[in-house]
A and B are shown apart, each in its own frame.
Chain A
Amino acid sequence: MLLDEAYRRKYSEKYDMRIATDGESGLKAAKSWEPDIILLDVYLPGKFDGIDVLRELKKDTKTAMIPVLVITNLPDMVERVIVMGADKCFMKTEVDLDLIEETLDLLLEKSRR
């Protein structure tokens, strides 16, 4: 939530971007809107956390192919989300918005190819 403002400020001009503040609404948005890429935080309020969202995304053929970039504060998750099908995972303290942007572009390019 704290970072929403940062994303909006940094990326809204460059990307067509929707921001969900909990797992359920994020999942719903992903299914209805079908974005080119998803930036997913593991630690989310509500019933669904990032892991659940990722699992659901990968289950649905509609969303399974969408690249996912995960960011987290839990070092244990880095490995885990990759295994579950995420394309990249960063520790929040190890990246900044510039690096995320770079990575997003990289992944978008890759998926388009």
Chain B
Amino acid sequence: MEVVDKIKIKRGLMGVLLILSLIALLAGSVFVWSYVNRSVENQRKDEFLGVVDMTEERVQDTLSMLVERLYDLRGFVSTGGINSERWASYLTSIEVESRHPGLYTFAYAPVVERGKLEGFLSNVKNEERGAEYRQYSVFPETETAEVVPIRYLYTRDPDIGSLLGYDITTSEDQVVALKKAVADDVPVITDLLHIGLVIPGNTKTGYVIMLPVYSKIDIANYPKEERRQYFMGLVGTWVFPQGLLSHVDIEEVLMAKGISLTVFDGEDEFISFGSNGGDLRAVREIKLLDKTFRFEFVGERQKILDKFTESLPRLTFWGLIIINLMWMATVTSILLSRREAKKLAAEATKDLRKFKQAVEGVSDMVTITDKNGVIIYVNGMTEKITGYKKEMLLGNTPRLWGRQMDEEFYKKFWETIKEDKKPFQGEVTNKRKNGELYEAEVNISPILDDSGKLLFFVSIERDLTKIKAVERVKTEFISLASHQLRTPLSAVKWFGKMLISGDAGDLNPIQKEYVEKIYESNEKEIRLVNSLLNVSRIESGKILIEPRLTDLTKLVSSVVIDFKLEVEELGKKLTAVIDKKIPKIYIDEDQIRHVYTNLIANAVRYTKKRGKIVVKVYLSKKSVMTEVKDNGIGIPKGGQKRVFEKFFRAKNALKMETNGTGLGLFLSKIIVESSGGKMGFRSREGKGSTFWFTLPIKTKS
């Protein structure tokens, strides 16, 4: 029972652990999922900001490249002696166009005093042969003291090309920039310019970056205050808004990532591409020269990362759900099987209790030892029979109350149960705690596991003390009864015989007749007592068949001869047919003689005058068959079943004769069976009976 309780506790703990594991797994799953989610989110943000950073970098790069070109151009212009051909070839040589086809426009606009404007114009006309200069004029016309007309222009854009001769001082925005540029000798960017203001109907917009040109090549070596006096004009570049973004590169990247970009110059949105909405936003203030632009990026989160990374949180989520579900199913099945096991255990416990109670209460002593003979269980009877307390028995060995037999016995005993692994049965003498010896019947079975390994020995011991005592009393009683009953019978017999034979003087005929009747009755009584005592001896197991080598032919002949005279006096006929081949066999001569005597006496008794009795003895298979056949009164059908019962006498037999005891056939059958043979009969009422029995042919003891 204790073992089962322990199992219960263990199982309870296991259930709690399983449920805890489920909770832990769930918590872990939530953590993993949120971690993956967050890191994907971070990656997305990084990617997005990376694009933003790259954009900013590109814009700055473009600008510094342009500024650099302007400085180069200033150097070129300030050397003097240029014309439109050299201008064009210079700009072609620095490969602006091949790198950024159609995007950039470079111009040189000299400062011309109003008074010298005529000369300037005629110079242009004299120097330039190009078609673009055929109509060269300074426009729009103004009254200002100085004009700054575009003298050289490098562009592929025909709209921009039409600006050749444009006086930049007519644009307020450009004048502001010009002043600032000349004052600080720095590149300056104008506000957004609309060509439409100059060329009506044109919608193009753009910025101009300008840099002052001085008549000294090494102007950088002069202090800023002095530079003003050498000022001779401006170099500038027209930048389309797209040009700032170094044209297609950035656009492609942005498109690929699904990010839309809008650039603001103050409140004016001057460029935008991509129209995707999205919840990722980034705003950058980018300062180009002294002007600040606002770049607004809007990203669609699903498009930024590659498909696999994007689906990672989802995959993780479902993966974790599956793992959780599987573990949940596992736990459920474990818990269910646990419940099943519990039920089985409870049933087993019930069974165990039942058996334990049964074993505890039986009247035999039950002892279980391990394979070394150490006692691990005893029932109540063990304490009672041996006299030792349970506490003393457990852990000890059965030698505590055994050890009374010789060594040979124990050697054989251990061989049987430990080496042959077979049950041992036998009678032993043991010793109680109080020193009293007792006889017991033991039955020890080895208990093996499936592989045949010894586990335990279960010993069942029955105290034979009481049984033996009863047996002894019975035997003593029979002895006593035997003597006490026979003593008076023999006295009657002896003295009766003396009277009859005249030892106490002659009797007159009537006296003699009476004494003879007394004698006869006494003889019958002696037979009855002998039979009765035989029966009780048999029933108490006291009949001893003591076989000796016996000549059966002789035995049967002598019995037949004993009967001969009596039979003939009765006018009946008794014959014996005995096979001469019958060998000497081992039988109890006295007992078997009793059987023959009994059967023949019956046959004689129950035949009428001129009855015929035949005794046949012959070999049949492996036994000697004897038949005693008569033509007497037979046995009525109703009584046939009970012929061999104790004290049975058939009705017709009772009518005919009262001398039988009803024990003869009963005893005969027992004697035959104890000798290893069988007995039976055939009979028809009024026709006769045949009693037969067999004896085994035993020629060796």
Contact = CB atoms under 8 A, between A and B. Distances in A.
B497 A97 contact: yes
B157 to A, nearest CB: 154
17 contacts: A3-B490, A3-B494, A6-B491, A10-B498, A73-B482, A73-B486, A73-B490, A74-B479, A92-B490, A92-B494, A93-B486, A93-B489, A93-B490, A93-B529, A93-B530, A96-B493, A97-B497
B487 interface: yes
A60 interface: no
A92 B482 CA distance: 11
Interface string A61-99: 000000000000111100000000000000111001110
A43 interface: yes
B453 interface: no
A1 B296 CA distance: 151
Given A93-B493, A93-B526, A43 B498 contact: no
Contacts of B504: 9
B487 A73 contact: yes
- Which DSSP category, helix, strand, loop or mixed, fits chain B's interface? helix
A98 B533 CA distance: 26
B503 interface: yes
A75 B494 contact: no
A2 interface: yes
B390 interface: no
Contact of A97 (B479, B483, B494): B494
Contacts of B498: 6, 9-10, 97
A2 B486 CA distance: 13
A74 B482 contact: yes
Contact of A75 (B487, B497, B533): B533
Could you say which of A91, A93, A96, A97 has the most chain B C-beta atoms within 10 Å of its C-beta? A93
Contacts of A76: 479
A93 B530 CA distance: 9
Give the interface size class of chain B: 20 to 34
B533 A6 contact: no
Contact of B494 (A6, A43, A74): A6
B670 to A, nearest CB: 16
Contacts of A9: 498, 503-504
Nearest to A94: B526
A2 B503 contact: no
B90 interface: no
Contacts of A6: 491, 494-495, 498
Interface residues of A, number: 16
B575 interface: no
B372 interface: no
B501 interface: yes
Nearest to B501: A98
A97 B530 CA distance: 20
B479 A2 contact: no
A92 B492 CA distance: 11
Nearest to B526: A93
Contacts of B479: 74, 76
Given A96-B493, A97-B494, A98-B497, A73 B483 contact: yes
B503 A10 contact: yes
Contact of A92 (B486, B495, B501, B503): B486
B525 to A, nearest CB: 9
B668 to A, nearest CB: 17
Given A76-B479, A96-B493, A98-B497, 10 more contacts: A43-B483, A73-B485, A73-B487, A73-B490, A75-B482, A92-B487, A93-B493, A93-B530, A97-B494, A98-B501
B362 to A, nearest CB: 37
Contacts of A93: 486, 489-490, 493, 526, 529-530
Could you say which of A2, A10, A43, A96 has the most chain B C-beta atoms within 10 Å of its C-beta? A96
Nearest to A6: B494
B498 to A, nearest CB: 6
Nearest to B534: A75
A74 B497 contact: no
A75 B475 CA distance: 13
Contacts of B497: 96-98
Contacts of B530: 93
Given A93-B493, A96-B494, A74 B501 contact: no
Interface in B618-635: none
Interface in B32-46: none
A34 B533 CA distance: 37
Contacts of A43: 483, 487
A75 B485 CA distance: 13
A93 B495 CA distance: 12
B483 A74 contact: yes
B547 to A, nearest CB: 14
A92 B503 CA distance: 19
Contacts of B482: 73-75
Those 4 A-B pairs whose CB atoms lie nearest each other, nearest first: A92-B490, A73-B486, A96-B497, A93-B526
Contacts of B487: 2, 43, 73, 92
Nearest to B537: A75
Nearest to B490: A92
Contacts of B526: 93
Contacts of A98: 497, 501
A2 B488 CA distance: 9
Interface string A87-113: 000011100111000000000000000
A31 B576 CA distance: 52
A3 B488 CA distance: 10
Interface string A20-43: 000000000000000000000001
Contacts of A73: 482-483, 485-487, 490
B523 to A, nearest CB: 9
B486 to A, nearest CB: 4
B529 to A, nearest CB: 8
B92 to A, nearest CB: 155
Contacts of A74: 479, 482-483
Could you say which of B493, B494, B495, B529 has the most chain A C-beta atoms within 10 Å of its C-beta? B494
A74 B542 CA distance: 13
A52 B410 CA distance: 38
A79 B85 CA distance: 167
